[in-house]
Every structure is written in C-alpha cells, then in structure tokens.
Structure 1
Amino acid sequence: MQLTWLLLLSFLGFLSLLKHSISLLKWVSDTFVRAPKHLNKYGSWALVTGATDGIGKAFARQLALQGLNLILVSRNSNKLKVVLNEIRAELPHIKIKDVAHDFSSDVTAGVKLIEEAIKEVEVGVLINNVGITYPGAMFFDEVDEQVWMEIVRVNLEATTWVTRAVLPGMLNRKRGAIVNIGSGASIVVPSHPLYTIYAATKAYVDQLSRSLYVEYKLCGIDVQCQVPLYVATNLASKVALIEKSSWLVPTPNDYAEAGIRHIGYEPRCTPYWSHAIQWCFARLLPDALLDAWRLSVGIRRRRDLVA
C-alpha cells in the first residue's frame, strides 16, 4: 500500500515537473526563438496613440522599420513634428500623418480627427498606448475629481473609442492587429494602492482586450494586451521615481523591439524577458504579502512627494 502511494505521488510530481518544464520551454521559444509576424500583412498603415514619448514613440519607430506608414496621435503638436521629422530623416520613404489632440479634454473631438485621418488608408495595426496617471502617490479620497476623471477619459474612454474607430475598416478587410498597452499595476500584482484609478483603468484595458480577442479572432483580427512592468519612461519616473534603465527596467526602444515580436500571437503577453521573470516570481508570493509591499512602497513615494 505504501509503495502504491509512493508511486502515485512520484507520478504526480513528474506530471507537475513536466508541466512546468513545458511552460518554461514555451516561454523561451516565444520570447527568443519564435519569428515575429510580418505586420504588412495586416495593412500598410499603423496608428499609434501617445506617440511622442516613451513606449509609443519607440513603437512608432519600430513599425516604420517594418515598412508601415504611420498615423501618430499625441496631445503635443510640437513634439509630434519633432518625432515625425526624426522618423522621416531616418526612413524617408515612410508616409506619416499626425493628429494633435488632448484626450483628457474631449474624447469625441479626438476620435473625429482620427476618423478623418484614417479615411482611404488601410490601418492594419493599432497601438493604443496613450495613458496618464496621478501626479504622485495619493490615497483615493485625496485625488482631485478632475484628475481621476481625466485618467478615466484618457485610459479608458479614448482606448475604447479609438479601437471602435479603426475596427470597421479591419472588419471590411478581414485583417488587423490591435495592441492595447496595459500595466503590471493591474495584472501582475493583486493591487496598486495609491494609484487606484490608474490601475483600475488598466484592468479594464486588459478585460477589453481579452473579450475583443475572442469576438474577432475568427474575423482575422488579432487583439492583444501587452503588460509591461516598469520601463524607463516619463510615466515610470513619475510613478516609481525611476530615472534610468537597467536589466529589470528596459529602455522604451528595448521594450518596443520585444513588443513587436509578440504582435498577432497570444491575447495577453509580457514581451520583455526580465518583466516575465519578475511576473513569475510575483505569482509565487501570497497576495497579502504583495499587497503589504505595494502599500509600503506607495506610502514611501507619497512621503517623498510631500517632502
């Protein structure tokens, strides 16, 4: 009888080890071996929101290197011209349109400008990158109504409406790729205290992406939520006081290179290799421990802001 139980436990242990080994091999393959898709198959144009800084700017350049023409969307018209000229100087054959609009003030007007810009062009790839957060770590009751309403308007409403604007063209052509940039603040860790509204809007982005993936996969449209952890951007500097990149915190260009390789595959991914490792270790820890750690980090950043 004891031998039977030992054999059973050994078999279950083997199955568990086999499962984790297969998962590890798949991650290595997906991250380092799997060939990226040819994005031109989706269409000749790509639309990128939040395109003048950080991840959005880096994605715009990577898409241009793939041979895609660009529609760049940002609230700052001067920065748009700078980015546009930089890409044209490096890749003069790429056609570029720019749309200057601040979604925090009026989403409807911005969507109308985008609808006008995409007329008579094949937008095959959409990168929904635009996003904002608090000016610093705050408890929920301390956040000014205008601040959290702007976060909802930009992160949630703008992402939804821009997706809705490009979707009909993709459906007519029966092909397209939609990439929504989420956040580890809403997926990797169970909570993100002192940035509650930001994390909640990014959780919405994740659920929106997953549901759209299921709805439109059979229509030839690949929808994906990419979940980065910290990237060395202005947003990370504001939220996490990160001033420079490291092996844990990639540059926007390094992240975008990894992100491009994952477009068109799984509905949710963490493209950068060290982010995926951090996520793996975070899942091994109890939620209560992660909650306590996140709260202590948030309070410390709040004190730094006040000081």
Structure 2
Amino acid sequence: MSIKYEPLAITKSRQACNFTRKEMELEDLMIAAATALGFVSLCKNLLAFARWLHAMFLRKPKNLHDYGSWAVVTGPTDGIGNALAFELASKGLNLVLVGRNPNKLEATSSELRERYGTTIQVKTVIADFAKLSGEEIAAAVTGATEGLDIGLLVNNAGIAYPYPRYFHEVDQELMESILRVNLNAVVWVTKGVIDGMLKKKRGAILNIGSASSVYLSSYPLQTLYASTKTFMAIFSRSISLEYKEAGIDIQCQVPLFIATKMTMLRRRSMLVPSPEMFSGASVRWIGHERQCNPYWLHAVQGFVLHAIDAFTVWYGQRYLKWMREEGLKDDGIL
C-alpha cells in the first residue's frame, strides 16, 4: 500500500481557498443582514409616515361630548386660548373660562353668547395664577366646576419673556410669574378637576406646550420659559400613563410659532398660522396621542429643525440676540 503525499504548496493553496471562501460567505452574510436591517428600518419609517398622514388628514376626531358637556379653558381671552374657546363652543360644549382680567373675561363670554346664543352656557372665574397659591388655584377651579359635567380641561395660560434676555436679566417679579403661571398653575388646575373625572371614569386634559421642549436641544435667551414647557411635556406624558386605564386622555400639544401677542408675530402665513387655524387642528387631535404637533406644517418644520439641531440652535441664538437688542432699544436701555 502506497501513501501519496501532496506537495506543501498545493495544501497551502487549498487552505487559502477555503479561508477565502469562508471570508466571502461571512461578507455575504453581513451584507444580507445589513440589507435586511435597512429594509426593516425603511418599512418602519414608511409605516410611521403613513400613520402620521392618516392621523393628520384622515382620522376622525373624537366626539368631545363623550367626555362631558363642559370644558374648562385657562387663558381664554387672547391668542390660542381664545381661539380654542370659540372652537369648543362651535362643537356645542359649555365653557368655564378662567382668567385674571374681569373685563376681558366678560367681553369674551359676551361674544360667545352673542355668537352661539342659548346653545351653550358660559361661566367665568377670575383667578390671577401669578398671585394665587396652588391651594387657592385648585379651590377656585373646584368651586367653580362643582356639580358640572366637566369633560375637558385646556391648560393654556402661559407667560413668556416680553423679549429674549439672558437668565440674569430676568427680574424677580417676571421669574415668579413665569414659574407660577406656566408650572404651578398647570399642576393645581389639573388637581382641581381630575377627581371629578376619576369619579365618572372619563375625561380629557389638553396641555398647550411648546416646540422648544421637543425639537430643540437648547433654547438660549428663553431659558426659563422653555424649561417650564419641558416640565409640562414630561408631566403630561407621565400623568397620561397614570390615568389612561381610568378613562382620562391626557395630551400635550407642542406647536411652533403662532401669530399671537406672546410671540409678537403679526404676519399670518402657512408657516405662522393664526390662532384660529391652529385651534381647528388642535381640537381634532384631542384624546389621541400623549404628545403631538397637530398643525401639519409645524410638524414638518419640527422634523427639519430637529434634524439640523446644531444649526437650528446656533441660528436661533443669533436671531434671539437681535430680538433682545431691539427690545432693549424699545425700553430705552440701549
């Protein structure tokens, strides 16, 4: 019996071929895995986009009367709050208007009654959130809504800087007002209505937040305002999970610029809608997602701003510095 031996060169050549084949198989496997992951990611994004399109343009709004026959609206005399009050009245909801200026409250309630006649009821509550304690706010809301079928609360009241400024330039009075109205009032007004919603196992709460808490990593020269809106966002998302099974839908809406006194923007365009344009979109989203941007062009803007966050923050800071200088000039400081 003879034993054949292969030359060493041939053996090494075969080993090299086997190693190369394994490398190629591994590369093919990695390419296939990457392709599969990319396909899954693409499908996920396409599904999310399709859901957004459906929610924005095709989904039917909830019947707000299923929550109750009354809605509480804070800050209803100007801007978004005023537009939402009229939008809700057009749906046939009775209103409890909570504000600090009795003359403006009376003017708003008179206009609502004139427009909608006896089809709705309107109550007013005078409450200056910048001066009342939390317990006093909750007591005022609870007292005004006792015996009413409160189905919806709109936490809209808010304060921003008169114009952009550095944190050390915010005086004590303005700082206290922002913290009390934007943060303290949201908590205590919610406290004032949620017990009633729990008893009947239904209700909805809409908190009007800000895009600054979602789409931007920083919002310099509006630090305190943006921070309070970030609190509102996490407060809304967390409390929504706490009470979802109890039949209470809680949502935070995060719009971009709207033509209101607070933003100091007068021009009304597709990118900067009027309060009425926004409120029409806002009401359609009540009771659905925990957090949303109901106006479709704002949602598109937000996506772009978030994608180029570093540039957005840099450019935004330059623009706000210019606005600060203009404000200081108007105050006669510069």
TM-score by length of 2: 0.88
1:73 aligned to which of 94, 98, 101: 98
**Stretch of structure 1 that moved more, 99-108 or 191-200:** 99-108
Cα separation, 2, equivalents of 1:134 and 1:187: 19
Query: Of the candidates 120, 130, 139, which is equivalent to residue 94 of structure 1?
Result: 120
Equivalent of 2:248 in 210, 216, 221: 221
What are structure 1's unaligned runs of at least 5 residues?
Answer: none
Q: After superposition, give the CA deviation of every residue in 1:257-288 in whole Å (9 maximum; x if it has no partner).
A: 11101111110000000010011112212x43
Superposed CA offset, 1:73-129 (max 9, x none): 111111111111111112111000001221111144343322211011011100000
How many Å apart are 1:3 and its aligned residue? 4.1
| Equivalent in 284, 295, 298 of residue 261 of structure 1 | 284
The range that moved more, 161-170 or 17-26, is 17-26
Aligned to 1:138: 165
Cα root mean square deviation, aligned:
1.3
| Correspondence for 1:167 | 194
In 2: Cα distance, 1:299 partner to 1:132 partner: 20
Partner of 1:16: 41
CA distance, structure 2, for counterparts of residue 301 and residue 168 of structure 1: 43
Amino acid at match of 2:244: K
The 1-side partners of 2:79 and 2:177 are apart by: 20
- Does the 8 A contact of 2:138 with 2:191 survive in 1? no
SS in 2 for 1:37: coil
CA–CA separation in structure 1 for the residues paired with 2:280 and 2:190: 23
Secondary structure (helix, strand or coil) at the match of 2:256 reads coil
Q: Secondary structure at the match of 2:146?
A: coil
Quick one: which amino acid aligns to residue 184 of structure 2? E
Residues 100-109 or 196-205, more deviating: 100-109
* In 2, Cα distance between equivalents of 1:275 and 1:304: 26
Counterparts of 1:104 and 1:155 in 2: how far apart (Å)?
9
SS of the equivalent of 2:263 reads helix
Q: Which residue type is aligned with residue 187 of structure 1? A: V
Which among 41, 47, 56 is matched to residue 66 of structure 2? 41
| Amino acid paired to 2:44 | K
Counterpart of 2:152 in 1: which secondary structure?
A: strand
Task: Tell me if structure 2 keeps the 8 A contact 1:137–1:194.
Answer: yes
Q: 5+ residue gaps in structure 2?
A: 1-23, 330-334
2:297 is the alignment partner of 1:270: no
* Percent of residue pairs bearing the same amino acid type: 43
- Greater CA deviation, 111-120 or 257-266? 111-120
Question: What secondary structure is seen at the aligned counterpart in 2 of 1:236?
Answer: coil
Aligned to 1:192: 219
Shift of 1:151: 0.3
Given that residues 79 and 260 in structure 2 are in contact (C-alpha distance below 8 angstroms), is that contact kept between their aligned partners in structure 1?
A: yes
Letter in 2 for 1:105: K
State whether residues 190 and 290 of structure 1, in contact with CA within 8 Å, keep that contact through their aligned partners in structure 2. no
Aligned to 2:289, the other structure's residue is in SS state coil
Cα offset, 1:291, TM superposition = 2.5
Q: Retained in 2: the 8 A contact 1:191–1:294?
A: no
Name the SS of the counterpart of 1:91 in structure 2: helix
CA radius of gyration, larger in: 2
Asked if 1:115 corresponds to 2:142, the answer is: yes
Matched position secondary structure for 1:234: coil
- How far apart, in 1, do the equivalents of 2:292 and 2:102 lie? 32
What amino acid is the match of 1:200?
A: S
